[in-house]
Amino acid sequence: MFEYEFMRNAFAAAALVAVVAGCTGYFLVLRAQTFAGHALAHVGFAGATGAVLVGISPLWGMLIVSAGAGAGMGLLGERLEGRDVAIGVVLALSLGLGLLFLHFYTAYAGQATALLFGNLLAVDRMTIVILAALTALSLMALAALSRPLLFSTLQPELAQAKGVSLRLISVLFLLVVAVVTAECAQIVGVLLVFGLMVAPAAAAQRLTRRLGWGLLASVALALLDAWAGLGLAYYTDWPSSFWIVSLGALSYLLAALAFPDRS
């Protein structure tokens, strides 16, 4: 299958996204903000389809809108807690707006499926270059944030007493999450981002309590899910997004069964 350029492109793109999704997802699960990735993907869908409507790349539309939403969620902080109905309405409205934008350009109706469920096999070299740049920026941002982020996650009161701005850390982290969410959406689509970003990280935290080993396990599982999913998609002719998220769910299920006392 590596004789085909589109498969080589798909494996390269999957590797880039899996690495950054594994790292970001680990902190997302650790901070109990897994819903944020799901929410940002829904909001980003409206930005992606709006970008299509005005004639620019959907990736840039998703990045801009997701980043704005991530910053807003970070600024609101605890005020978002307990507002499930309001958040759900916003997410539904975002999907509705996205479909409305696509309605105005029927020529892009097929692009709706790619945005919602991903189309990894259609990734070209330019997209890989963009994903590589976004991955490098996201990883550098995570590295710079890692110590205060971990401190504010595990001991928020002490971190605040030491002068760490919890709101600033939250905003910066959710900005990174927004960028990574936009990347993941290029691989599995906005509706399945949760499976690639959260499932491997949640499984890794079941496997080990150590931060370093947990990050490595999260990246390894995300990479395994992405590459194995691509291989299965090639030989079965089933959608790659289906295989990737199914393998992610399976890895979490096996980890939960093996270590039921860990959460």
User: What is the tens place of the pLDDT at every residue in 63-74?
Assistant: 888 888 888 777
**CA dihedral angle for residue 208, residue 214, residue 217, residue 219, rounded to 10 degrees:** 160
Lowest mean pLDDT among 20-24, 82-86, 173-177, 244-248: 82-86
Q: What is the pLDDT of residue 184?
A: 86
pLDDT tens readout for residues 201-249: 999 999 998 988 999 999 999 999 999 999 999 999 898 889 999 999 9
Domains of the chain: 5-257 (1.10.3470.10)
User: Which token pair is 9?
Assistant: 């492109």
Q: Comparing C-alpha atoms, which of 225, 233, 192, 246 is closest to residue 7?
A: 233
Q: What is the pLDDT of residue 233?
A: 92
- In sequence order, the 6+-apart residues with CB closer than 8 A to the CB of 102 are 49, 52, 53, 108, 109, 111, 112
Q: What is the pLDDT of residue 16?
A: 94
pLDDT tens readout for residues 112-124: 667 777 778 888 8
Per-residue pLDDT, averaged over 145-163, amounts to 88
